[in-house]
Amino acid sequence: MNDILVNLASLGDKLAAHVLLAAAALGLGIIIALPLAVWANRSPAVSRVALGFSSLVQTIPALALLALFFPVLLSLRAVFGEGLPTLGFLPALLALTLYALLPILRNTVTAQEQMDAGVLEAADAVGMTRWQKLQLVEAPLAAPYIMAGIRTAAVWTIGAATLSTTIGQTSLGDPIFAGLQTQNWALVLAGCIASAGLALVTDALLGAIERGFQMRRRWLVWAGITLALAGILAAAFAQRATDDNAIVIGAKPFSEQYVLARLIGQRLQDAGYAVEYRDGLGSAVVHEAVTSGEIDIAVDYTGTLWTNQLKRSDNPGRDAMYEQLVRWEADTTGTLVLGRLGFENAYAFAMKKDRARQLGIETMDDLAREARRLTIGGDVEFFRRPEWLAVEDAYGLKFGRQRTFTSTFMYDALKGGEADVISAYTSDGRVAADGLLVLEDPRGALPSYDALVLISPQAAKDSELLAALKPLIGAISVEAMRQANYAVDRLDDKRSPAQAARELARTIDAP
């Protein structure tokens, strides 16, 4: 309970960003939906198209809608130039705005359809122009219904905004995603409580405005609007206080990335830099984000870049792969590969020791023999990755069943017998802690995954920054990394990523 309160108290900046994002999306949604609804009311064709489109948008899962704006904006750079942001606020705003359209549009159209024909005839007959009719009769009569639509849209938007974490926009989703990965339930709950609380308060405020319209109490309308605006202004003020020049460090959604981001951040803070974290970025998004300068620093892995960015499926060996990567980044994206941290986080197939012994499995070849009777568990992206296809090919793997888990729950699934073998990570502390057997890869089908530090083209010009990070290169052993990861992942005596990063830093400074 105390943990939740402590976490809640630290969510101020996330809350402010969340409020601004949701308010902007809702505002934009209103600005688009209201004129569209008026037009739809005058033309059945427009009505059909507008309502059809916004209903269709609702059927797309919010997470997918957010993710889809990344490629959309990327392609729009051809029109608007390289300055167009593809991550963070803009795509989140656009996706959430689309999401907010339907309830506002539908309620406004319905309100106009339901309006008393006699009242509308009277409005014409007393000599109202079209604009006067809209302003003096249609708008005030539709207002309670429109407000009800805006209320629904607000609650949806605030909820869906938590998902914008995945495309690099700070929100109350940050603690939820981070907590989910590190099994820090207090952090998850704090994020949920804050987001739900925000939704409830907003709903109550907008509800007061709606009642004000319904009962024609102007003071209630104005009180509601004033309070809502005050909240948005407070958020904007809090947001202004954050430093625009801060170095932004990105992290993919798993413990090691959180710890390394903090390790880098802490060094930069010691060197006098202001630092911000973008946690929970999708794996595909991180590389694009650092090359475009959306974020300044990220830790990635040779094998990942090799297959995803260079689109290579061959395996030239660990050092050759690294050297080609450095050259490729310098030539094509201008991104600086500062160096390798010193450990590998490779995919590796792991089993419980007793189960492996029972089946007589020690290598991937042995596994291929028994695979038909076994269930394999992978993380959410694993079965779509080229590495998996390469392994399948190399060993002729055919599993009886294939299941997907978040990386955290994958280990629990192995322990609980829901999977016989999983796609583990070699730097994961749980491999050693759970006493798992990592199967040998005699055919070298899995590429190497040296952790490396990527620096965006702009940040690469900052020699002080590079100097501050240089000591990290080659300084982290796989044992040290495992220990730090395990400190965050384990259920008892848990460390936060920042604490684990500090402990890790101590092992680097005093070898």
Partner 1 sequence: MDQPSHALLEFVNVRKAFASTVTEDSAVDVAVDGVSCGIAAGSFVALVGASGSGKSTLLKTVNRLGDPDSGQVLLAGDNVQDAAPAMLRRRIGYVFQGVGLFPHMNVADNIGIGPRLSGTRASDGRIAELLELVELDGSYAGRMPHELSGGQRQRIGVARALAGNPQLLLMDEPFGALDPLTRDGLGKRVRALHGQLNLTTMMVTHDMAEALLLADRILVMEKGRIVADETPRSLLKGAGGPIAQAMVAVPREQAAALAQMAQLDGPA
- Would you tell me which residues interact with partner 1 (CB under 8 A)? 116-129, 132, 136-137, 140-141, 216
Smallest gap from Cβ 107 to partner 1, in A, equals 18
Smallest gap from Cβ 182 to partner 1, in A, equals 55
Smallest gap from Cβ 121 to partner 1, in A, equals 6
Using H for helix, E for strand and C for coil, what is the string for 442-505? CCCCCCCCEEEEEECCCHHHCHHHHHHHHHHCCCCCHHHHHHHHHHHHCCCCCCCHHHHHHHHH
Smallest gap from Cβ 258 to partner 1, in A, equals 55
Q: Which two tokens stand for residue 176?
A: 């939820």
Which SS3 state, helix, strand or coil, does residue 91 take?
helix
Q: At what angle do helices 407-416 and 173-181 cross, to 10 degrees?
A: 30
Q: In this structure, what DSSP letter does residue 352 have?
A: E
Pick between residue 131 and residue 245 the one whose CB is nearest to partner 1: 131
Pick between residue 126 and residue 204 the one whose CB is nearest to partner 1: 126
Which of 359, 347, 350, 365 lies closest to 443, judged by CA? 365
| CA 287 to chain CA centroid, nearest Å | 14
Which of 464, 97, 458, 56 lies closest to 295, judged by CA? 458
Smallest gap from Cβ 116 to partner 1, in A, equals 7
DSSP 159-202: HHHGGGGGGT--STHHHHHHHHHTT-HHHHHHHHHHHHHHHHHH
Pick between residue 130 and residue 384 the one whose CB is nearest to partner 1: 130
Smallest gap from Cβ 125 to partner 1, in A, equals 4
Smallest gap from Cβ 119 to partner 1, in A, equals 5
Pick between residue 129 and residue 226 the one whose CB is nearest to partner 1: 129
Pick between residue 137 and residue 150 the one whose CB is nearest to partner 1: 137
Pick between residue 144 and residue 179 the one whose CB is nearest to partner 1: 144
Pick between residue 124 and residue 319 the one whose CB is nearest to partner 1: 124
Smallest gap from Cβ 208 to partner 1, in A, equals 18
| CA 268 to chain CA centroid, nearest Å | 24
Pick between residue 218 and residue 353 the one whose CB is nearest to partner 1: 218
The answer to whether 190 touches 1, Cβ cutoff 8 Å, is: no
Which SS3 state, helix, strand or coil, does residue 281 take?
coil
Residues with Cβ within 8 Å of residue 43, at least 6 apart in sequence: none
- What are residue 423's DSSP bridge partners? 349
